[in-house]
Homo-oligomer: A and B are copies of this chain.
């Protein structure tokens, strides 16, 4: 509605408006997409939002800020993920979402789709699936946040590698889309601890890590470490 900060706007500061238009755009998809630059917020906590968004490309993070200012990362969202489910229920965002690099998002069906007027198998199922994936991701993250820290990082790297494969990229070598700080907050660690973990992994020849450029040398070794914490999908459905 009318809020102080406009939640989803389709004009962006610089760059051509709505550059790429997906081929199969259906009539009820009012939105052809919005481009976010690194650091741009899709919305802030408390903003009123009208529809969930599909992440078409790039990476975003969702976070909440504690009263003492430092933020806690709730999720990392990449291509194919859906963010902003709150739109379907209470219409206001419960956490902020910000782009980590250049990203593109597209609004998807509003609540009306659940009514049953249009052909339903499309967006409503997308939303249902996305919501379910989010449930899986959260339970997974929850389990990750207990147990030894080495297992958390190992599990994360393996899961991320798995995502890479699904995307047609290499499982062993990739660029992490987020900085140490965000990753640490996602795993529930201090950045220093995370740094030490990378160091330890490097010492043990488990991987090479030049900043965000990761090269995994010993998948089995990581798997063994990760097994100490838990198993489960980061994003499998």
Contacts and interface: CB of A to CB of B under 8 A. Distances in A.
A74 interface: yes
A133 to B, nearest CB: 9
A-side interface size class:
35 or more
A135 B188 contact: no
A139 to B, nearest CB: 6
Given A116-B115, A116-B117, A116-B118, A138 B142 contact: yes
A115 B119 CA distance: 7
A6 B145 CA distance: 33
Indicate how many identical chains form the complex: 2
A125 B86 CA distance: 13
A80 to B, nearest CB: 15
Nearest to A95: B139
Contacts of A89: 128-129, 132, 237
Contact of A125 (B94, B114, B136, B139): B114
Interface stretch (A64-72, A193-201, A211-219): A64-72
A120 B64 CA distance: 32
A72 to B, nearest CB: 6
17 contacts: A64-B230, A67-B227, A72-B143, A72-B230, A74-B139, A74-B142, A86-B132, A89-B129, A90-B237, A114-B120, A116-B117, A116-B118, A131-B132, A131-B135, A135-B138, A138-B142, A142-B145
Interface of A: 64, 66-67, 72, 74, 85-86, 88-90, 94-95, 114-118, 120-121, 124-125, 128-129, 131-132, 134-136, 138-139, 141-143, 145-146, 188, 227, 230-231, 237
